[in-house]
Amino acid sequence: MLMPFGKHRDERVEDVPTSYLVWLIGEEFLDDYSPLASAIHRELSERLSVDEVRPDKSLARKIVQAGYATVSRKGDQDREALGLAAAWLY
């Protein structure tokens, strides 16, 4: 599936960086793109070698977004590592 919008428009989901996919999973507007959300969940599941990426929960989403934004601003973490950690929390 190709990304229909954003920084990675027209790129295959498989080619989009993990940190961007994790960020998208945390965005409420993605609920309007059900097939894309499913493709992202599948891709993250494969990358993280787990059976299933847990479904979004609004409270978890807020916690991950706030923490991700805070840590990201500090610049003391690699963005890819941050993305993997955030995905694991879901």
For 17-70, write each residue's pLDDT tens digit: 988 998 888 888 888 888 999 999 889 888 876 555 555 567 667 777 777 777
Which residue's entry shows tokens 């790129």? 11
Position 15 pLDDT exceeds 90:
yes
Q: What is the 3-state secondary structure (H, E, C) of the chain?
A: CECCCCCCCCCEHHHCCHHHHHHHHCCHHHHHCHHHHHHHHHHHHHHHCCCCCCCCCHHHHHHHHHHHHHHHHHCCCCHHHHHHHHHHHC
| pLDDT the model gives residue 10 | 97
pLDDT for residue 77: 57
**Averaged pLDDT for residues 82-86:** 71
pLDDT at 36: 93
Query: What's the pTM value of the predicted model, to 2 decimals?
Result: 0.55
- Residue 15 tokens read as 């080619």
